[in-house]
Amino acid sequence: MGRAPCCDKASVKKGPWSPEEDATLKSYIEQNGTGGNWIALPQKIGLKRCGKSCRLRWLNYLRPNIRHGGFSEEEDRIILSLYISIGSRWSIIAAQLPGRTDNDIKNYWNTRLKKKLFGKQSRKDQRQQHFARQGANGGQKEEVSRDAAGTNGLAAGAYNWHQHAMAMAMPVRPMSGSMVEGNRIGEEVDESIRKLLFKLGGSPFMSLPPPPVYGETPSFVPPSVHTTPPSEGGIQCSSILPALELDESFHFNQIKLDGLDCFFGMGDQNMRWNEVSPLVCPNNTVASSSQGIQQYCLVEEPVDLGMQ
Protein backbone atom coordinates (compact mmCIF):
# COMPACT_ATOMS: atom_id res chain seq x y z
CA MET A 1 0.00 0.00 0.00
CA GLY A 2 1.47 3.27 -1.09
CA ARG A 3 1.57 6.51 0.69
CA ALA A 4 -1.53 8.67 0.61
CA PRO A 5 -1.11 11.62 -1.76
CA CYS A 6 -0.51 14.95 -0.11
CA CYS A 7 -3.32 16.58 -2.04
CA ASP A 8 -6.09 15.86 -4.49
CA LYS A 9 -4.20 15.65 -7.76
CA ALA A 10 -7.32 16.04 -9.85
CA SER A 11 -8.28 19.44 -8.48
CA VAL A 12 -4.78 20.82 -8.29
CA LYS A 13 -3.18 22.94 -10.95
CA LYS A 14 0.24 21.95 -12.20
CA GLY A 15 2.86 23.56 -14.35
CA PRO A 16 4.36 27.03 -14.40
CA TRP A 17 3.11 29.63 -11.98
CA SER A 18 1.33 32.67 -13.32
CA PRO A 19 2.21 36.17 -12.13
CA GLU A 20 -1.19 36.35 -10.44
CA GLU A 21 -0.54 33.20 -8.48
CA ASP A 22 2.88 34.46 -7.51
CA ALA A 23 1.44 37.76 -6.34
CA THR A 24 -1.29 36.06 -4.33
CA LEU A 25 1.09 33.74 -2.58
CA LYS A 26 3.74 36.34 -1.99
CA SER A 27 1.46 38.99 -0.57
CA TYR A 28 -0.23 36.52 1.72
CA ILE A 29 2.97 35.11 3.13
CA GLU A 30 4.51 38.54 3.53
CA GLN A 31 1.51 39.65 5.54
CA ASN A 32 0.62 36.50 7.41
CA GLY A 33 3.51 34.10 7.15
CA THR A 34 2.98 30.52 6.17
CA GLY A 35 0.95 29.80 9.25
CA GLY A 36 3.03 26.73 9.79
CA ASN A 37 0.84 24.71 7.51
CA TRP A 38 1.68 24.57 3.84
CA ILE A 39 -1.00 22.00 3.11
CA ALA A 40 -3.79 24.29 4.24
CA LEU A 41 -2.31 27.47 2.82
CA PRO A 42 -3.39 27.21 -0.82
CA GLN A 43 -7.00 26.60 0.16
CA LYS A 44 -6.88 29.50 2.54
CA ILE A 45 -5.81 31.92 -0.18
CA GLY A 46 -7.77 30.39 -2.99
CA LEU A 47 -4.95 28.90 -4.98
CA LYS A 48 -5.52 25.65 -6.82
CA ARG A 49 -2.07 24.45 -5.97
CA CYS A 50 -0.54 21.71 -3.90
CA GLY A 51 0.90 22.88 -0.61
CA LYS A 52 4.25 21.46 -1.54
CA SER A 53 4.17 23.38 -4.77
CA CYS A 54 3.44 26.59 -2.86
CA ARG A 55 6.27 25.92 -0.49
CA LEU A 56 8.68 25.27 -3.34
CA ARG A 57 7.60 28.36 -5.20
CA TRP A 58 8.06 30.52 -2.14
CA LEU A 59 11.40 29.07 -1.14
CA ASN A 60 12.91 29.06 -4.58
CA TYR A 61 11.54 32.18 -6.21
CA LEU A 62 9.30 34.43 -4.17
CA ARG A 63 11.02 34.88 -0.86
CA PRO A 64 13.22 37.94 -0.56
CA ASN A 65 16.92 38.08 -1.36
CA ILE A 66 16.91 35.19 -3.76
CA ARG A 67 19.64 35.33 -6.38
CA HIS A 68 19.52 33.46 -9.64
CA GLY A 69 22.33 32.71 -12.03
CA GLY A 70 25.64 34.50 -12.19
CA PHE A 71 27.55 32.13 -9.99
CA SER A 72 30.95 33.50 -9.09
CA GLU A 73 34.21 31.60 -9.10
CA GLU A 74 34.20 31.62 -5.34
CA GLU A 75 30.74 30.12 -5.29
CA ASP A 76 31.94 27.50 -7.75
CA ARG A 77 34.74 26.61 -5.39
CA ILE A 78 32.46 26.42 -2.40
CA ILE A 79 30.07 24.17 -4.25
CA LEU A 80 32.91 21.99 -5.45
CA SER A 81 34.50 21.75 -2.03
CA LEU A 82 31.30 20.86 -0.29
CA TYR A 83 30.24 18.46 -2.99
CA ILE A 84 33.54 16.66 -2.67
CA SER A 85 33.15 16.52 1.08
CA ILE A 86 29.51 15.77 1.62
CA GLY A 87 28.10 14.84 -1.75
CA SER A 88 24.81 16.01 -3.14
CA ARG A 89 23.37 17.47 0.01
CA TRP A 90 22.19 20.54 -1.73
CA SER A 91 20.38 22.11 1.16
CA ILE A 92 23.55 22.10 3.23
CA ILE A 93 25.55 23.49 0.36
CA ALA A 94 22.90 26.13 -0.22
CA ALA A 95 23.11 27.13 3.42
CA GLN A 96 26.68 28.23 2.80
CA LEU A 97 25.67 30.41 -0.12
CA PRO A 98 23.34 33.15 0.98
CA GLY A 99 20.62 33.90 -1.51
CA ARG A 100 21.05 30.60 -3.30
CA THR A 101 18.53 27.82 -3.15
CA ASP A 102 19.24 24.14 -3.11
CA ASN A 103 17.29 23.74 -6.33
CA ASP A 104 19.31 26.43 -8.02
CA ILE A 105 22.60 24.93 -6.95
CA LYS A 106 21.47 21.48 -7.93
CA ASN A 107 20.49 22.67 -11.38
CA TYR A 108 23.68 24.64 -11.73
CA TRP A 109 25.73 21.62 -10.79
CA ASN A 110 23.90 19.24 -13.07
CA THR A 111 23.74 21.45 -16.11
CA ARG A 112 26.89 23.51 -15.99
CA LEU A 113 29.39 23.07 -13.21
CA LYS A 114 29.76 19.34 -13.67
CA LYS A 115 30.41 19.82 -17.34
CA LYS A 116 32.76 22.65 -16.65
CA LEU A 117 34.71 20.48 -14.24
CA PHE A 118 34.99 17.58 -16.57
CA GLY A 119 35.60 19.34 -19.75
CA LYS A 120 32.36 19.50 -21.63
CA GLN A 121 31.72 23.17 -21.78
CA SER A 122 28.29 24.56 -22.20
CA ARG A 123 27.71 26.60 -25.26
CA LYS A 124 26.92 29.55 -23.06
CA ASP A 125 30.31 29.29 -21.40
CA GLN A 126 31.98 28.86 -24.73
CA ARG A 127 30.31 31.99 -25.98
CA GLN A 128 31.22 33.91 -22.85
CA GLN A 129 34.82 32.85 -23.22
CA HIS A 130 34.86 33.67 -26.86
CA PHE A 131 33.61 37.18 -26.27
CA ALA A 132 35.78 37.61 -23.22
CA ARG A 133 38.83 36.75 -25.26
CA GLN A 134 37.83 39.07 -28.02
CA GLY A 135 37.15 41.82 -25.60
CA ALA A 136 40.31 41.27 -23.60
CA ASN A 137 42.82 41.13 -26.38
CA GLY A 138 41.15 42.35 -29.46
CA GLY A 139 41.04 39.00 -31.12
CA GLN A 140 44.75 38.50 -30.90
CA LYS A 141 46.45 35.69 -29.09
CA GLU A 142 44.03 34.03 -26.75
CA GLU A 143 44.30 34.82 -23.11
CA VAL A 144 43.23 31.73 -21.27
CA SER A 145 40.40 31.99 -18.85
CA ARG A 146 39.74 29.95 -15.76
CA ASP A 147 37.34 27.53 -17.25
CA ALA A 148 38.79 27.09 -20.65
CA ALA A 149 38.68 23.42 -21.34
CA GLY A 150 42.01 22.24 -20.29
CA THR A 151 44.45 24.74 -21.61
CA ASN A 152 44.82 27.44 -19.07
CA GLY A 153 47.35 28.14 -16.44
CA LEU A 154 50.08 26.57 -18.47
CA ALA A 155 52.51 29.33 -18.00
CA ALA A 156 56.02 28.20 -18.40
CA GLY A 157 57.79 27.72 -15.16
CA ALA A 158 56.74 26.92 -11.68
CA TYR A 159 53.26 26.13 -10.71
CA ASN A 160 52.22 25.47 -7.18
CA TRP A 161 49.67 22.75 -7.35
CA HIS A 162 49.34 22.61 -3.60
CA GLN A 163 48.26 26.19 -3.36
CA HIS A 164 45.95 25.96 -6.27
CA ALA A 165 44.36 22.79 -5.05
CA MET A 166 43.84 24.31 -1.68
CA ALA A 167 42.35 27.37 -3.25
CA MET A 168 40.03 25.28 -5.32
CA ALA A 169 38.93 22.71 -2.83
CA MET A 170 39.07 24.45 0.50
CA PRO A 171 35.77 25.50 1.94
CA VAL A 172 35.66 29.22 1.69
CA ARG A 173 33.50 31.53 3.66
CA PRO A 174 31.51 33.26 1.01
CA MET A 175 30.61 36.51 2.67
CA SER A 176 33.64 37.30 4.72
CA GLY A 177 35.86 38.36 1.92
CA SER A 178 38.03 36.08 -0.05
CA MET A 179 40.47 34.00 1.87
CA VAL A 180 42.49 33.60 -1.25
CA GLU A 181 45.01 36.33 -1.51
CA GLY A 182 47.52 36.42 -4.27
CA ASN A 183 46.63 32.91 -5.30
CA ARG A 184 47.40 31.74 -1.82
CA ILE A 185 44.92 30.41 0.63
CA GLY A 186 44.85 32.25 3.90
CA GLU A 187 45.11 30.78 7.34
CA GLU A 188 41.53 31.42 8.21
CA VAL A 189 39.21 28.50 7.70
CA ASP A 190 35.57 28.71 8.38
CA GLU A 191 35.04 26.85 11.59
CA SER A 192 31.39 26.32 10.98
CA ILE A 193 32.07 24.55 7.73
CA ARG A 194 34.82 22.50 9.29
CA LYS A 195 32.55 21.41 12.08
CA LEU A 196 29.79 20.73 9.67
CA LEU A 197 31.97 18.59 7.45
CA PHE A 198 33.39 16.79 10.41
CA LYS A 199 29.97 16.14 11.82
CA LEU A 200 28.85 14.80 8.49
CA GLY A 201 31.75 12.44 8.39
CA GLY A 202 33.59 14.21 5.65
CA SER A 203 37.01 15.64 5.66
CA PRO A 204 37.18 18.96 7.44
CA PHE A 205 40.39 19.71 5.57
CA MET A 206 42.10 20.10 8.88
CA SER A 207 45.01 17.78 8.57
CA LEU A 208 46.39 18.33 5.17
CA PRO A 209 50.03 17.49 4.96
CA PRO A 210 52.38 20.19 3.83
CA PRO A 211 53.34 20.04 0.20
CA PRO A 212 55.99 17.41 -0.21
CA VAL A 213 59.48 18.39 -1.09
CA TYR A 214 60.83 16.42 -3.96
CA GLY A 215 63.48 14.03 -2.91
CA GLU A 216 61.75 13.41 0.36
CA THR A 217 59.27 10.71 1.04
CA PRO A 218 55.90 12.12 2.00
CA SER A 219 54.74 11.07 5.41
CA PHE A 220 51.62 9.53 4.00
CA VAL A 221 51.29 8.46 0.43
CA PRO A 222 48.44 6.35 -0.80
CA PRO A 223 49.87 3.39 -2.63
CA SER A 224 48.19 4.26 -5.86
CA VAL A 225 49.60 7.74 -6.04
CA HIS A 226 52.88 8.34 -7.73
CA THR A 227 55.12 11.00 -6.41
CA THR A 228 57.82 10.81 -8.96
CA PRO A 229 58.82 14.31 -9.84
CA PRO A 230 58.46 15.35 -13.42
CA SER A 231 61.36 14.40 -15.51
CA GLU A 232 61.85 17.87 -16.80
CA GLY A 233 61.92 20.79 -14.52
CA GLY A 234 59.43 23.52 -14.27
CA ILE A 235 56.49 21.86 -12.66
CA GLN A 236 56.30 21.91 -8.94
CA CYS A 237 53.34 19.73 -8.52
CA SER A 238 52.32 18.61 -5.09
CA SER A 239 50.80 15.53 -6.48
CA ILE A 240 49.14 13.86 -3.60
CA LEU A 241 46.89 16.57 -2.45
CA PRO A 242 43.79 16.53 -4.57
CA ALA A 243 43.75 12.82 -4.98
CA LEU A 244 44.48 12.24 -1.34
CA GLU A 245 41.91 14.71 -0.20
CA LEU A 246 39.21 13.39 -2.45
CA ASP A 247 40.22 9.89 -1.61
CA GLU A 248 39.86 10.64 2.08
CA SER A 249 36.47 12.06 1.51
CA PHE A 250 35.40 9.01 -0.38
CA HIS A 251 36.59 6.73 2.34
CA PHE A 252 35.01 8.78 5.06
CA ASN A 253 31.72 9.30 3.42
CA GLN A 254 31.29 6.33 1.19
CA ILE A 255 29.07 8.53 -0.81
CA LYS A 256 29.09 7.89 -4.48
CA LEU A 257 30.00 11.15 -6.10
CA ASP A 258 28.59 10.80 -9.52
CA GLY A 259 30.51 12.68 -12.06
CA LEU A 260 33.72 12.51 -10.11
CA ASP A 261 34.28 8.91 -11.03
CA CYS A 262 36.48 9.73 -13.93
CA PHE A 263 38.66 11.78 -11.67
CA PHE A 264 39.44 8.59 -9.81
CA GLY A 265 40.10 6.62 -12.91
CA MET A 266 37.03 4.49 -12.54
CA GLY A 267 34.61 6.29 -14.74
CA ASP A 268 34.54 7.11 -18.38
CA GLN A 269 37.47 5.33 -19.87
CA ASN A 270 37.26 7.54 -22.91
CA MET A 271 37.88 10.65 -20.89
CA ARG A 272 40.83 12.46 -22.33
CA TRP A 273 43.28 14.20 -20.14
CA ASN A 274 42.79 17.46 -21.82
CA GLU A 275 39.14 17.29 -20.89
CA VAL A 276 39.81 17.55 -17.21
CA SER A 277 38.81 20.92 -15.97
CA PRO A 278 41.36 23.30 -14.58
CA LEU A 279 39.06 23.65 -11.63
CA VAL A 280 40.01 20.11 -10.74
CA CYS A 281 43.54 20.02 -12.02
CA PRO A 282 44.19 23.68 -12.42
CA ASN A 283 47.06 24.02 -14.75
CA ASN A 284 46.16 20.91 -16.64
CA THR A 285 49.70 19.87 -16.83
CA VAL A 286 48.26 16.48 -17.44
CA ALA A 287 46.61 17.75 -20.55
CA SER A 288 49.69 18.39 -22.49
CA SER A 289 52.45 16.56 -20.80
CA SER A 290 53.89 13.14 -20.64
CA GLN A 291 52.42 9.99 -19.23
CA GLY A 292 54.69 10.46 -16.27
CA ILE A 293 52.98 13.61 -15.31
CA GLN A 294 49.60 12.07 -15.74
CA GLN A 295 50.61 9.51 -13.20
CA TYR A 296 52.10 12.20 -11.16
CA CYS A 297 48.98 14.22 -10.71
CA LEU A 298 46.20 11.72 -10.64
CA VAL A 299 45.40 8.43 -9.09
CA GLU A 300 46.50 5.84 -11.51
CA GLU A 301 44.31 2.94 -10.61
CA PRO A 302 40.75 2.64 -9.48
CA VAL A 303 40.47 2.96 -5.78
CA ASP A 304 38.43 0.63 -3.72
CA LEU A 305 35.92 3.00 -2.28
CA GLY A 306 33.83 0.48 -0.51
CA MET A 307 30.80 1.52 -2.45
CA GLN A 308 29.54 -1.68 -3.98
Decide whether 123 or 141 has the Cβ nearer to DNA. Answer: 123
Contacting DNA (CB under 7 A), which of 10, 14, 175, 217? Answer: 14
Would you count residue 26 as binding DNA (CB under 7 A)? no
C-beta neighbour count of 123 within 10 angstroms: 7
C-beta neighbour count of 251 within 10 angstroms: 15
Contacting DNA (CB under 7 A), which of 106, 146, 173, 194? Answer: 106
Q: Which of 177, 210, 174 is nearest to 193 (CA)?
A: 174
Report the nearest approach of DNA to the CB of residue 297 (Å): 27
Q: Which of 216, 215, 213, 195 is nearest to 204 (CA)?
A: 195
C-beta neighbour count of 255 within 10 angstroms: 20
CA torsion angle for 279, 281, 284, 287 (degrees, to 10)?
Answer: -110
Would you count residue 33 as binding DNA (CB under 7 A)? no
Phi, psi of 306 (to 5 degrees): 65, 35
Contacting DNA (CB under 7 A), which of 26, 29, 38, 73? Answer: 38
Contacting DNA (CB under 7 A), which of 42, 57, 78, 129? Answer: 57
Contacting DNA (CB under 7 A), which of 25, 47, 50, 243? Answer: 50
Decide whether 9 or 141 has the Cβ nearer to DNA. Answer: 9
Contacting DNA (CB under 7 A), which of 60, 151, 224, 227? Answer: 60
Would you count residue 213 as binding DNA (CB under 7 A)? no
Output the DSSP codes for 97-133. STT--HHHHHHHIIIIIHHHHTT---HHHHHHHHHHH
CA torsion angle for 166, 171, 174, 177 (degrees, to 10)?
Answer: -40
Q: Rg (Cα) of the chain, in Å, rounded? A: 23
Phi, psi of 180 (to 5 degrees): -95, 115
Contacting DNA (CB under 7 A), which of 36, 64, 182, 223? Answer: 36
Which residues are within 8 A (CB) of 265 and not within 5 positions of it... i.e. 6 or more apart? 298, 299, 300, 301, 302, 303
Site string for DNA, 127-166 (x = CB under 7 A): x---------------------------------------
Would you count residue 264 as binding DNA (CB under 7 A)? no
Report the nearest approach of DNA to the CB of residue 59 (Å): 7
Decide whether 5 or 182 has the Cβ nearer to DNA. Answer: 5
Contacting DNA (CB under 7 A), which of 29, 45, 52, 189? Answer: 52
Contacting DNA (CB under 7 A), which of 43, 110, 228, 274? Answer: 110
Give me the residues that bind DNA (CB under 7 A), please. 2-6, 9, 13-17, 34, 36-39, 49-53, 55-57, 60-61, 68-69, 88-92, 102-104, 106-108, 110-112, 115, 120, 122-125, 127
